[in-house]
Structure 1
Amino acid sequence: MAVTLAEVAARAGVSPATVSRVLNGGYPVAGGTRTRVEQAIEDLGYVANGPARALAAATSDLVGVLVHDVADSFFGILAGSLQSALAPAGPSDARRLAVVCNTQGAPEAELAYLALLEGQRAGGVVLTGGAAEDPGHTAALAARVTRMAAGGVPVILCGRPPLPLPDELPVATVMFDDRGGAFRLAEHLLALGHRRIAYIAGPPGLSTTRERLAGHRAALARHDPGLAGTCAPLTVHAGFERAAGYDATRELLRRGEPFTAVAAANDTVATGAAAALRDAGIRIPEEVSVAGFDDLPFCVDTAPALTTVRVPLREAGVLAAQLVTGRRPLPPGGLTTLPTELMVRGSTGPPPAGGSRP
């Protein structure tokens, strides 16, 4: 009876997917692991099924890129840099087609697009943006990614936390230091003298929202353990759109709780917050400071220019492209965290001497 791939995997102490990658040579495998697999193949006399291998290798040059909203500059920059970096690295490198899938942040759309990409035998997948923190969706997503990766399809998670997956799958995670960036932004406002800081968080149940809000609260607590409680009534959740920032700021003003600064979940929300303050006759930053997150291109052109936290979107897109094509080996543990950077501009300043607004 012919030796099976599963028997080779058991002999080498690895997954069948790892044996398949060694046989196909299409994705990096650690030297020691490759040696164990090759030794098991020799010991057992395994002979690959030629037609089956040809079928398994028949993946396309298509790379699926899942984004929440391609019209959002955050995702547009990330997807654009990724697509540019997919260009052939040399004469022998394959040309790849990036297909952008717009999920609108819906978990069910994310799963549906992954199923379509699997059906199209995509050569790689990159999932971008915050992850929905729902146990059912996480389990379904992990199962889908496991199945694709076990078939030799590299999957890159970009801007979201790792999934609970079996070891040795071609899956890598590229995260942003959102928590650290939010911490440094809050520290900046505290150093200016602000103690009544409003915070417009993103939608609840999203990993990005959780990380940025946690960093903000940690800075408040480090400065003064009582500040987190003082500022709690000044925290509201909203969407990531400009209109959401506008409406959230109007709600903060309606409540009548005094504040001297507004930190927003992202730059787009911050522009809405600034518009609401201007419509209320409140000067920025003389009466209320405003800050955002991401450092999108328009931040330097707002009046005043927006203080924010730079997220390395272009660098992340290039890295994701290198990982999904195998041009760069997976990092130890499969995880890379890219740093964020505080960008201080004219929209933040000391609180007014006469007290808080409104």
Structure 2
Amino acid sequence: MTRGSGQDRATIRDVAALAGVSVATVSRVLGGEYPVATATRTKVQRAMRELDFVVNAHARALAGTNTKTVAFILDDVTGPFHALVARGVEDQATIEGRLCLLCTTHGDPQRELDVVELMREQHADAVIVLGGAYEDTEHLERMTHFAHALDRSGSRLVLCGRPPLGPDIPATVVEYDNEGGAYAITSHLLSAGHRHIVFLGRVDKLTTTSQRLRGFTAAHHAYGLQPDPSLVFDGAFSRASGIDRTIKLLAQGNPFTAIFAATDMVGAGVIAALRDANIRVPEDISLVGYDNIPLAEDLTPGLTTVHVPHEELGRTAVRLALHRDRETSQHVVLGTHIQVRKSVQPIRTGK
């Protein structure tokens, strides 16, 4: 029994008839939630292939059944940090037999909420939100509402690379030691004798930079120092922003000997702007970044930075969310460490 291209699409009843089983048995094979004898499963799968049977995902959603999908929400798919975490999400989703749906927000907090709600309506098994959270009360309240709504429907909100929403909120949290990494990389500069360090690339009300600034400040305090507020520059996590803010920094005229770029992409822009101004790294100015994306190693000089376990973040997010029954903790903090290259030089006498 086969169907030509001009005939109607095969139904679950057609599959059952060809396999010689009940419609309920075909449903069990499709759902994967109930045990089915291997021989029976093989007959059903053979019939599905012969009929070119395609599962109607929309019908599943309307019926309130599992759609075997993991939704992954991020700012920008072209960003190296996000792309590396996405690889981990997709790899683990494939292992778990899930389809990975990728959604972008372009940095719009409202769009993030809209996409989470849409994925809830689509009955995704897990909704993973990547990147820093917006430090806004209304946004926090809405995300908390979605965490409870997803939990009631058997799904899960997963916060990846951002802090928890609060105590007793039913959400999976997979963080990396953001503040600790910033503390370590700042201490690396301070131990090299630098005392006038720029923090370049703060994004207002974003937990990513709030945590990094806390680590930056704590490291100064550990050395009995206070960061210079005039050396903290707002910006975006991009190469273009790194160039623009470095030009403004040089025009400001305040003395400094090192720059902590909020991300490696910002650091790439810093190097370009300093080169155009005939300022050498690290001979004249030392520079560090954050993330350890592949670009960091290819810059000239290679960028000393904080390594973030990107792919492990993604894999852990999927695994914890889909196996809540056997995972002992739904809040994991992955470690970070310094990747030393050639962009830092000890301070010269009199600098």
Bin the TM-score by the shorter chain: 0.7 to 0.9
Indicate if the aligned counterparts of 1:260 and 1:352 stay in contact, CA closer than 8 A. no
The match for 1:184 is 184
How far apart are residue 164 of structure 1 and its match? Answer: 3.1
2:320 aligned with 1:323, yes or no? yes
2:272 aligned with 1:275, yes or no? yes
| Residue in structure 1 matching 2:303, options 275, 295, 306 | 306
Identity of aligned residues (%): 37
5+ residue gaps, structure 2, are: 1-32, 34-60
Q: Equivalents in 2 of 1:305, 1:318: separation in Å?
A: 28
For residues 35-114 of structure 1, what are the structure 2 equivalents within 5 Å? 58-88=65-95, 95-114=97-116
Instruction: Provide the secondary structure at the position in 1 that maps to 2:95.
Output: coil
Instruction: Provide the secondary structure at the position in 2 that maps to 1:86.
Output: helix
Q: Equivalents in 2 of 1:55, 1:67: separation in Å?
A: 26
Q: Equivalents in 2 of 1:199, 1:192: separation in Å?
A: 17
Q: Equivalents in 1 of 2:325, 2:290: separation in Å?
A: 29
The match for 1:115 is 117
The match for 2:341 is 345
5+ residue gaps, structure 1, are: 1-25, 27-53, 90-94
Indicate if the aligned counterparts of 1:322 and 1:328 stay in contact, CA closer than 8 A. no
For residues 191-206 of structure 1, what are the structure 2 equivalents within 5 Å? 191-206=191-206
The match for 1:221 is 221
The match for 1:288 is 285
Q: Equivalents in 1 of 2:98, 2:268: separation in Å?
A: 37
Instruction: Provide the secondary structure at the position in 2 that maps to 1:76.
Output: helix
Indicate if the aligned counterparts of 2:201 and 2:242 stay in contact, CA closer than 8 A. no
Indicate if the aligned counterparts of 2:65 and 2:123 stay in contact, CA closer than 8 A. yes
Indicate if the aligned counterparts of 1:240 and 1:265 stay in contact, CA closer than 8 A. yes
How far apart are residue 318 of structure 1 and its match? Answer: 1.1
Q: Equivalents in 1 of 2:63, 2:218: separation in Å?
A: 49
**CA root-mean-square deviation:** 2.1
TM-score with structure 1 length normalisation?
Answer: 0.78
TM-score with structure 2 length normalisation?
Answer: 0.80
Moved more, 149-158 or 287-296: 149-158
Change (3 A) 1:330 1:64: same
Instruction: Provide the secondary structure at the position in 2 that maps to 1:293.
Output: coil
| Residue in structure 2 matching 1:149, options 148, 151, 168 | 151
How far apart are residue 62 of structure 1 and its match? Answer: 1.5
The match for 1:252 is 249
Q: Deviations over 1:189-242 (max 9, x none)?
A: 0111111111113311000110001100110111023x32xx221111110011
Q: How many residues align?
A: 294
- Which letter maps to 2:128? V
The match for 1:13 is none
Q: Deviations over 1:89-145 (max 9, x none)?
A: 5xxxxx211111101121111111112112211121111100000001100111122
How far apart are residue 325 of structure 1 and its match? Answer: 2.1
Indicate if the aligned counterparts of 1:62 and 1:96 stay in contact, CA closer than 8 A. yes
Moved more, 211-220 or 318-327: 318-327
Indicate if the aligned counterparts of 1:123 and 1:153 stay in contact, CA closer than 8 A. yes
How far apart are residue 57 of structure 1 and its match? Answer: 5.6
- Which letter maps to 2:299? T
Q: Equivalents in 1 of 2:67, 2:142: separation in Å?
A: 24
- Which letter maps to 1:211? Q
Instruction: Provide the secondary structure at the position in 2 that maps to 1:60.
Output: coil
